[in-house]
Amino acid sequence: MLSNHRPASLAGRLATLAATFTVLAFTAFAQVNVTQNGDVIDITIDGKPYSELYLAGPKVYLHPLRSASGKIVSRMYPMEKREGEITDHPHHRGLWYGHGDVNGYDFWANDPLVKNNQGRAGTEKLLKVLSTKSGKDSGSLKILLAWNDPQGKTLLEETREMVFRKQGASIIIDTDLDLKAITEVKFGDTKEGIFALRTAPEFELPGNKRAPAFPVRSGHMINSNGVEGKAVWGKRAAWVDYSATVDGEKIGIAMFDNPANPRYPTYWHARDYGLFALNPFGVHDFLNDKTQDGSMTLKPGQKVRFRYRIVIHPGGESAADIQALFNAYARNRK
């Protein structure tokens, strides 16, 4: 009896192989090494430098951030000089976490280069590096910080865990923040906060007359509700994506709010000049309504937890299918 099975055509076999290689490339493991060197934690991916977490100073920050192809997507100033960058807001250092009003003290614009904030600036003091882990599919770090007022009194203790992975042509950074009140703590209602990235100048929206001609500002910003450009600021959304062309390559940065976070979906302090931040506490600023109160108070011993994901991806929001990536993140939340 003759079989009805026919050998696949050469074109069909090649298509199958191409699809297989695509899947393998997307799921292939990347070695991520996380190593402490004094007051810096180094992160490398596949043997190449990815970023560094700086532990000393008034706040902890990650610098620089890169795409999977090695392009720098965060602003270099004030840590390093790069031609074409606007040198405003020196407290916008890489990727950081802070808030402008914690019992009246400022853990946002708390940089020594900010001259008009003396006497109000708080400090994130490293208490301990709890762990660093390296692996074939991800690397992680966990640190314990004290949020101290200018007199050195501890207001909060923060446990921060960060996980880094390369997934296909994207970089994923997960951040888990657990804040414990040591004394009664009030997160005041202000737009100045909280989880933030200052992007490379290419991501700034076109049209800023203060911006140098080079590099070209080609930024596009869109949120999960389809709001675009400057109008993203102050709106609530599950995610925002900021994309641009960097050295000839279209690259996007997506930031996800976790559905388990308090006050999800959050408000966004996302500006046309490259500030990329989410903030659940800035209600009266974002709504331009002083009768609103977005503050949050913790009693001594109480905790609040926030989780976020950053995806640095090739292409724009549609090509990367950011909504699908967010849906997967939301389903898998702990």
**pLDDT tens digits for range 126-138:** 999 999 999 999 9
pTM for the complete prediction? 0.90
> How far apart, in Å, are the Cα atoms of 298 and each of 90, 133, 188, 260, 305?
30, 32, 11, 18, 12
DSSP codes joined into one string, 211-252: S-SSS----EEEETTS-BGGGGTT-B-SEEEEEEEETTEEEE
Domains of the chain: 57-331 (2.70.98)
Q: What is the pLDDT of residues 93-127, one digit of tens each?
A: 999 999 999 999 999 999 989 988 878 999 999 99
Are 61 and 77 within 8 A, CB to CB? Answer: no
Cβ contacts of 263 within 8 Å, gap of 6 or more: 280
Strands (E), 116-209: 123-133, 139-148, 154-167, 170-181, 185-187, 193-198
> Is the Cβ–Cβ distance between 298 and 207 less than 8 Å?
no
Please give the pLDDT value at position 209.
86
Q: How confident is the model at residue 28 (pLDDT cuts 50, 70, 90)?
A: low
- Quote the CA–CA distance of 218 and 248 in Å, as a whole number: 11
What value does the CA radius of gyration of the chain take, rounded to a whole number of Å?
21
> How far is residue 132 CA from its own chain's centroid?
19
